[in-house]
Amino acid sequence: MEKRILQEGRNCWKIARASRVKFLIDGGAYFSTLADALEAARESIMILGWDFDSRVRLRPDHPDRAVASQDLGAFLNALVAPHEELNARILIWDFAAIYALDREPVPFFSPGRTHPRIHFQMDGSHPIGSSHHSKIVVIDDALAFIGGLDLAKGRWDTPAHRPAHPNRRNFEGSPLPPHHDVQMAVDGAAAAALGDLARERWWRATGERLQAPATVNDPWPSSLTPDLTDADVAIARSSPEYKGESEVREIEMLYQDAIAAAKRRIYLENPYLTSVAVGEALEKRLREARGPEIVVVLSQKSTEWLEGATMDVLRSRLLKRLRDADRFNRLSVYCPVVDGLGKGCISVHSKLLIVDDRLVRVGSANLNNRSMRLDTECDVAVEADGDPTIQQGIARLRNCLLAEHLGLNPEKITARLARKTSLIATIESLRRRRGKTLKVLDGSVPEWLDSMIPDSAIVDPESPIAPEKLIEEIVPHEERRATRGALFRGATVLLLFLGLAAAWRFTGLREWVDVETIASWQGLLRGSPVAPLWVVAAYVLGGLLVFPVTLLIVATAFAFGPWTALIYSLLGCVLSATALYGIGYVLGRETVARLTGPRLSRLNRLIENHGILAVATIRLIPVAPYSVVNLIAGAANVRLRHFVLGTLIGMSPGVAAITFLGYQLDNAIRHPGLLSFVVLGGLLSLMMLGVAWLHRRLSAESLPGKSK
């Protein structure tokens, strides 16, 4: 007997029995099945997700079904209204601002949009830098869906993955790319356990304790034929340490244990491949003389430019390591393609692992460090444990996925694999040059890009960032008072801006320089083809003369619109900082040390230990004057890429805030009125609150007896 892979308390939270298990391949199958199941709900609907959009349609290809073909918000309202005992609770990650433009503009929880028994909550109960990423729907604790699919735009698709599908469009009508994913449905005790998990999350986010449903109900759709029956389902989680709760790393351990147990084949589908722990586990197996074959199906590249410039670089480094370790030619990495996408590839969003015909794992966890340790994730796994029926079901799923990617029927995959025995040889014998097929993925990135991106500790962190610990180290006790003074000097400058606007409105100051004069200055600058050069030159000169950069940012906001000013200011700040960095580099350590004192050695140590994070934090907290920090960084031989990226990251929030404050100040001067002053006062209040928060942090860290 083989040693069982799944072990409660080690690589999973709980193992519970499901009478029925169904693998739902791609969003079209999941969404339509979910619609059927939701229509059978009687007491409780629990939805957990990273994203949610009430405008999606679960049955876009069934316009004849009036209620089910409505958008999700209207559908839920229609479901809840006739059933007095039915409550729907939706808990979605309180997302970072970077995703704001990609989310539903009018939140689903807006007053008047939802039935009183639909409860919508945003969940921000997580450490800084992490997110809630699990995707779970539980109906009456009797049926649960879990996998990689959120109820959001861009997820619906069919296994054909047509380059252009009329139902795969954005809400304004623009086409969306093909999207591959996998979801899993379970019933019985496994569904009830996922219900417990969802209620625990709800309580942590809202403080409301929910009771398990008392209704005995079977919402499993009659048309849904299970792939497995009477299977034990393991639930594995990831979550960071937070507010007294210990870190959970069951998913990472499950990956390591499953990869170590593989005898013949490992099949992976995932959007990413940057996890240090999973990379090491795969590398170890590749170095073995008799290890398993490893087939990985990934997206060709990330869809967003920021991920392409970061996560794709980390993936290329890990792929190189794995290929260097593959002395026995047992690794193949592919991306699925289809005619009509040009050089593009189907977006692979599934998070799936199949080991031999023995274990299948589906869930929300990406193969990156975040999903292993930083974000909250939930996966489910089924182990055959010698049951031939379950073994056949696991093999059938793998063959169905390969058949989809290769544009073939599953029977052909099964027959060819029986002859070849090698999974890689089977795929290679069936791959085509054109049409729907799997293409070998190189995954390399340009050398110049690779040289710019730091290691995964910054781009793909393994643990949350504790801001108070970073402040404690970067701002020493002896400088706390000076730093707090600098914060309040900055706050005083902001208040002076408000006073200036008020004086312009209510005194004779506006007679000295009228609005028309200001407008003419703005017109000259905006109309000049060399305006960007003048602005950048002003920032560089200002840095050399130690001129307050805050005033330069405000002046830029006056001269240009907020978005143009934001770009010009960030560019000017970075180039000014880089110029002074170069001067510090030329002057050398000893000369700059005589000018700056002990700051040089301390900042050098901090940046060596924390890299980009330290540079960014120093930009946020006025440890030393802007120009002095730049000189010290150059003299201390800080890596230029760390310095530039840290400066950009650290200065962006402040530059954005001051730019929009300056723009609103200009607006208050040009169009004086109650509303413009209320908006200006609101912006100032928010910035003052930020200053006060930093002051409390610094003061708290200075209390006697506070450990370092």
Neighbours of 203 (CB within 10 A): 13
Lowest average pLDDT, out of 148-152, 297-301, 574-578, 673-677, goes to: 673-677
Residue-wise pLDDT for 230-268, tens only, equals 999 999 999 999 888 999 999 999 999 999 999 999 999
Q: Which amino acid is at 137?
A: V
Q: What is the pLDDT of residue 286?
A: 98
CA 293: distance to chain centroid? Answer: 31
| Cβ atoms 115, 85 nearer than 8 A | no
> Could you tell me the pLDDT band of residue 486, with boundaries at 50, 70 and 90?
very low
- 245-459 placed in CATH 3.30.590.20: no
Element spanning 504, H or E: helix 480-506
Q: Which residue bears the tokens 């200065």?
A: 651
Q: What is the pLDDT of residue 498?
A: 47
> Could you tell me the pLDDT band of residue 344, with boundaries at 50, 70 and 90?
confident
Q: Which amino acid is at 320?
A: K
Q: Is 137 helix (H, G, I), strand (E, B) or coil?
A: strand
User: Helix H segments across 14-112?
Assistant: 27-39, 72-80
Cα separation, 219 vs 619, in Å, equals: 55
The domain segmentation of the chain, as residue ranges, is 16-230, 245-459, 467-701
Q: What is the pLDDT of residue 475?
A: 45
Reading the block at residue 302, the tokens are 């990330």
Q: What is the pLDDT of residue 476?
A: 45
> Could you tell me the pLDDT band of residue 707, with boundaries at 50, 70 and 90?
very low
Average pLDDT on 69-82 reads 89
Judge if 16-230 and 245-459 fold alike in CATH terms: yes
Q: Is 266 helix (H, G, I), strand (E, B) or coil?
A: strand
Element spanning 14, H or E: strand 14-25
So what CATH class is 16-230? alpha beta
Q: What is the pLDDT of residue 686?
A: 58
Average pLDDT on 566-586 reads 84
Average pLDDT on 488-502 reads 47
Q: Which amino acid is at 418?
A: A
